[in-house]
Amino acid sequence: MYPDGLPIYLKSLNYSFVKHLDIDASQAWLTHLQEPNLSRKDYYDKWRRMIHMYWNTKITKDTDKLVAISGLAKRMGSALKDRYLAGLWEGNLPSNLLWHIHIAGGRSCRPENYRAPSWSWASIEAEEDVSFWHSPLRGRVLIEIEEASVTPLSNIDVTGEVVDGYLRLKSSVFQAELIIHDPSARDESGRLQLRIQGETVEGALFPDENITATSTSVYCLPVWMATKPLDETEGAVALILKPVEGKPRGWYSRLGLLSNSACGEDLSSRGWKKMLECLDDPGSGDHSMYLESAAGTIMFV
């Protein structure tokens, strides 16, 4: 129970329905929020660590994933003066979008009932931990967030349950193919490979959900890259998207994350080059991948 944990008589119980938290760690986290010299980056880093603390706690109702941290989000929002978006913070949104799940033989899926936009970690139910990709200070953000919105279930608690959410992005999107490359690999990132126009996009691929189809048509959204020449080893991260059924063209939901820096690859492969050559002119390619009224713009839900 926030903020002081469980009543004393419950702490000694081992029932599976009781949520056990490290109370000392939680109290230390709250105390640190009151430190006067914390930078915004410090606050965002502390939030990511808090998500790790709460990720695998048992929740009676799936819909309570965001409700369980609502009080902490209010504390953080008060300290940051930032807008909360279904588990993420608007002021650090491009970096916040770069989370991934390690699927190593475990189950990962999105719940039957809507819980959060696909771009939020709260939209996933997984047996493994969630990790946030930490970008270095130097680099280039490859998307422009034109609008970000979530609709809370109740205006009384804007950090609790949500019923809808979207991002409107100015970006470059590339049609790709996701294939099962190595069926014997122990984890999903080793099994899967992404190809653009027949060329492999080197990197570690982290799907949000278990992939069973041998080949799946997807879309690739580059989000961040290092500011180095292309012939040097460097980093780049992209999101893997799929079209939203029943929506017009240009509407996408998230399917996973691709990071070339996670496996020490460089950006000299033809697959990466095909994408990076087009990044300075969003929407210059196939207009059918974008919103009909705005080339280079997509809706991300």
Query: pLDDT for 29-63, tens place per residue?
Result: 555 556 667 888 888 988 888 887 777 666 667 67
Q: Is the pTM of this model over 0.75?
A: yes
Is 24 domain-assigned?
yes
Judgement on whether residues 246 and 195 belong to the same structural domain of the protein = yes
294 and 173, same domain (yes or no) = yes
Q: Which of 10-24, 79-93, 124-138, 173-187 is predicted with the least confidence, judged by mean pLDDT? A: 10-24
Of 3-17, 60-74, 171-185, 277-291, least confident by mean pLDDT is 3-17
26/119 same-domain check: yes
Mean pLDDT of the chain, nearest integer: 79
Query: Tell me, what amino acid is at 218?
Result: V
**For residues 161-180, average pLDDT:** 93
Each residue of 67-90: pLDDT tens digit? 988 988 998 888 889 999 999 999
Domain boundary among 133, 156, 189: 133
Note down the domain range covering 292. Answer: 169-300
* Final residue belonging to a domain, choices 84, 116, 133: 133
- How far apart CA 77 and CA 43 sit, in angstroms, is 10
Which pLDDT band, with edges at 50, 70 and 90, does 250 fall under? very high
User: Same domain for 106 and 179?
Assistant: no
CA distance linking residue 204 with residue 248, whole number of Å: 31
Least confident of 191-200, 231-240, 249-258, 279-288: 279-288
Please indicate, yes or no, whether residues 22 and 87 belong to a single structural domain of this protein: yes
Query: How many distinct structural domains can be found in the chain?
Result: 2
Give percent above pLDDT 90 in the chain. Answer: 32
Residue 294 lies in a domain: yes
Residue 182 sits in the same domain as residue 69:
no
Say which residue, 213 or 177, is predicted with more confidence.
177
Place 145 in a pLDDT band, splitting at 50, 70 and 90. Answer: very high
Long-range (24+ apart) CB contacts under 8 A made by 262-265 are: 262/133, 262/189, 262/203, 262/204, 263/202, 263/203, 263/204, 264/233, 265/202, 265/203, 265/233
Q: What pLDDT is attached to residue 281?
A: 64
Say yes or no: 173 and 296 in one domain.
Answer: yes
- Number of residues assigned to the chain: 301
Q: Is residue 141 part of a domain?
A: no
Q: Are residues 96 and 17 in the same domain?
A: yes
Would you state the pLDDT for residue 130? Answer: 82
State whether 293 and 194 are in the same domain.
yes
- Residue 70, class by beta-carbon neighbours within 10 Å (0-12 exposed, 13-18 middle, 19+ buried)? middle
pLDDT score for 251:
97
Comparing 132 with 163, the larger pLDDT belongs to 163
Give a yes or no: residue 91 inside a domain.
yes
Per-residue confidence band for 150, with pLDDT thresholds at 50, 70 and 90: very high
Decide if 126 is inside a domain: yes
Residues 125 and 239 in one domain: no
Residue 261 belongs to some domain of the structure: yes
Query: Is 248 within 8 Å of 301 (Cβ atoms)?
Result: no
Which band of pLDDT confidence, cut at 50, 70 and 90, is reported for residue 295? confident
Strand ranges (E), 153-247? 162-170, 174-180, 192-196, 199-201, 204-207, 215-225, 236-243
In a domain, 146, yes or no: no
**Number of Cβ within a 10 Å radius of residue 216:** 17
Q: Are 112 and 218 part of one and the same domain?
A: no
Q: Is the domain of 260 the same as that of 202?
A: yes
> Is the residue at 67 inside a domain?
yes
Q: According to the model, what pLDDT value does residue 6 have?
A: 47
